[in-house]
Amino acid sequence: MSASSSSAQSLAELAKKEEARRSSVQKPSKALTNADLAADPIGTSPTAVAVDVAAAPAPAPDPASAASETTPASLTKPALDEAYWRGKGADLRAKRATAKQYVESLSRANHADPREQARTEALMKKRQAVLKRAEDAYSLFEMQADVARVPKEWIQ
C-alpha cells in the first residue's frame, strides 16, 4: 500500500510542478496571420503561426550586416518586377499543368489485375492531392499579385 501512496504523492507533486511551470510560461508576443503573409512573395504556408519574439536570442552583431543596416530597405529586398511575376506565374502554371496531365493519364488507366488497379487508384488519390496543392498555390499567387497591384498580363 505504501507503493501506491508514494506514487499518488509523486503524481500530485508532478501536477503542482507542471501547474507552476505553465503559469510561468509567457504567451507568444505576436501571431502572424494570412494578412501578414499576403505581402510575402515567396508564398509561405497560409496558416497562422505564433512567434515568441521575446524568447528569441538577439543575433550577434556582424560587421557585414552593419553595412546593410545603412542601406534603404528598398535596396535590400528582391526586386518584384515584371520578370519575377511572369517567371513565377509560368512556373506555377507549368506545375499545375504537369499535375493535371498526370491525373488525367491515371484516370484513363484500366488494369485487369485488381491489385494493379488498387495501386493505380491509390496513386491517383495522391496525385489529385498534388494537383489541388498546385491549384491552391496558383490561386495564392494570383491573390498576392492582386494585392501588389500587378498588371494581369504579367501573370497570365
Span 47-78, pLDDT tens digits: 444 444 444 455 555 555 444 455 554 444 45
Q: In this structure, are 99 and 37 located in the same domain?
A: no
- For helices 82-108 and 114-147, what crossing angle results, to 10°? 160
- Same structural domain, 108 and 50: no
Q: What's the domain range around 110?
A: 80-155
Reported as a pLDDT band with limits 50, 70 and 90, residue 154 is: confident
Residue 71 grid cell: 542601406
Q: For 9-13, 35-39, 100-104, which range has the lowest pLDDT when averaged over its residues?
A: 35-39
Cα–Cα distance, 26 to 41 (Å, whole number) = 31
156/154 Cα distance (integer angstroms):
6
Q: What is the DSSP letter of 50?
A: E
* Model confidence pLDDT, tens digit, residues 122-153: 888 999 999 999 999 999 999 988 898 888 88
Q: Is residue 68 part of a domain?
A: no
**CA-to-CA distance for 117 and 142, rounded, in angstroms?**
37
pTM for this predicted structure? 0.47
Domain identity same for 138 and 92:
yes
**Which region, left, alpha or beta, applies to residue 25 given φ > 0 means left and ψ of -120 to 50 means alpha?**
beta
Q: How many independent structural domains does the chain possess?
A: 2
